[in-house]
Amino acid sequence: MPPVELRSLTTEQFLLTLLVRLAAIAVLATMLARFHRFRRILIFERRGWVDRLVFTLSLGMPLMAGVTSRVILKYDAADLTLEGAFLAGLLAGPYTGALVGLLAATPALIANEFIALPFAVGCGFAGGGLREVCPKEAIWQFTPFVFIDLRKHLWKMLRNFEPNWQLVLLLATVALELVRQALGARFGVERLFYLGSPSPWMTLVVVLVTVVAVATPIKIWNSARIEHRLQEQAQLLLAARIETLKSQINPHFLFNTLTSISSLIRSQPDTARTLILKLSALLRRLLRSHQHFVTLREELESIDEYLDIEVIRFGPKLRVRKEISPDTLDVVVPSMILQPLVENSIKHGFARKVGPGVITLRSHRENGRAIIEVEDDGMGFMLDRLDQPMSSGIGLANVRERLTVIYGDQYQLKLTSEPGRGTSARIEVPELTAVQQITA
């Protein structure tokens, strides 16, 4: 095979090739960061063989396609063998780096570039070797702006008499590019592809571009890792806040129920005993459940147990009616969201009422939203006092805050009342039919 000479490029063409190379590695890194599985591999340091295989193929296949386009189409900017293999070793270990280098160099080997394969595999092992000795967070701190703080890194290394890993990573990348330049100049571009520069200054630019091409994906992927951690912390904070609000309901409900039982101990001891048994069964159910979200069916089962206690207290004076649409039973709602509404109806609707009363539970679906209503025919409120239950006490205020934390502005909690005719509490939330658990 006749020797292949370096194609003559003008300075503008050479610089454009380098810029396109940087753009290509940045686009590839950004696209990979958008895939959930790849992002998880970046986040967790302990990776199984399946994760390593996914990482290898996710990075190796695009690199192979780039080298193929360079071999066939003579598109020099698409060859990112050094950067890709070194990155793979640096982030996933020596064997992963070597496999990525093997994949990337295969088209070049087929084109008789015999030095390409050992060089690419060597870059992978070089990155993997650095990974073994370098602190993991130091790798993620390697940025394209390392040159700006070069004096600071040098001073820190000399002052502390310890290796500065940012400089180590920088020098390793520079060394690999210089080795490629030397091997390419010695054996020719037909044995190892390299960007032969028209002047020493351009060689310096090639080295700088290689460093930035290695650091840019690390910067992009580290930003994805930080974003994931922030989202995770926000979710944990949300779960903790929901748990706090939920924990306010149980003592409030328990205190009110025990007060009711204490008033019956002397006058109706058998009724008080039954109430205690019902209460213990309900509390046992609540203690077993760690879910922040349940289906409406499960929520209604909890309400039934609570209402059993209240029906025993009030006797035939209290009746419960349900108008539940069957297609709403699997809709997901926050747990213990209806109990304060039912308790509010009993406390404010029937405590001062003479004669029987009815609590009606309704639910239906409308325009992709679940609508749940708790209505009573009790004493009701005056219009100027309608907001009082929402702003005072634990029950309704807690319900409103929990809905705000969970749904933001995507919910409605509306309280309507007419003196002497009753009160209605209406909750409207986005319709979800898959149980979602948030654990603190």
Reading phi first (left if > 0) and then psi (alpha if -120 to 50, else beta), residue 380 is in: left
What is the structure's pLDDT at 385?
A: 52
CB count within 10 Å of CB 290 equals 10
What is the structure's pLDDT at 335?
A: 78
pTM as predicted: 0.58
What is the structure's pLDDT at 240?
A: 60
pLDDT tens figures, 118-163: 999 999 999 999 999 888 888 888 887 766 766 776 777 667 777 7
CB count within 10 Å of CB 7 equals 10
Angle between helices 11-33 and 200-264 (to 10 degrees): 20
Q: What is the pLDDT along the chain (440 residues), one digit of tens a residue?
A: 444 444 556 778 788 888 898 999 999 999 988 888 887 788 777 777 888 888 899 999 999 999 999 999 888 888 999 999 999 999 988 999 999 999 999 999 999 999 999 999 999 999 999 999 888 888 888 887 766 766 776 777 667 777 778 888 889 999 999 999 999 888 888 899 888 776 788 888 898 999 999 999 999 988 888 887 777 666 655 566 555 555 555 566 677 677 777 877 888 788 788 878 877 877 776 665 566 778 888 888 878 877 877 777 677 778 888 999 988 888 888 877 888 888 878 777 776 666 788 889 999 998 888 999 999 888 777 555 545 554 444 567 778 887 887 888 888 888 888 887 888 889 998 887 644 444 43
Give yes or no for a contact between 18 and 195, defined as CB atoms under 8 angstroms apart: yes
What is the structure's pLDDT at 85?
A: 94
Half-sphere exposure of 44 (CA within 13 A, CB side): 11
**Rounded Cα gap, residues 275 and 278, in angstroms:** 5
pLDDT tens figures, 178-237: 999 999 888 888 899 888 776 788 888 898 999 999 999 999 988 888 887 777 666 655
Question: Can you name the CATH fold of 265-430?
Answer: Heat Shock Protein 90 (3.30.565)
**Rounded Cα gap, residues 299 and 28, in angstroms:** 48
What is the structure's pLDDT at 390?
A: 47
Q: How far out from the chain centre does Cα 427 lie?
A: 28
Q: Is 44 exposed, middle or buried (0-12, 13-18, 19+ CB in 10 A)?
A: exposed
**Rounded Cα gap, residues 407 and 433, in angstroms:** 15
Give yes or no for a contact between 96 and 89, defined as CB atoms under 8 angstroms apart: yes
User: Whose CA is closest to 219, among 157, 122, 146?
Assistant: 146
Chain region(s) in the chain for CATH 3.30.565.10: 265-430
**Rounded Cα gap, residues 246 and 407, in angstroms:** 15
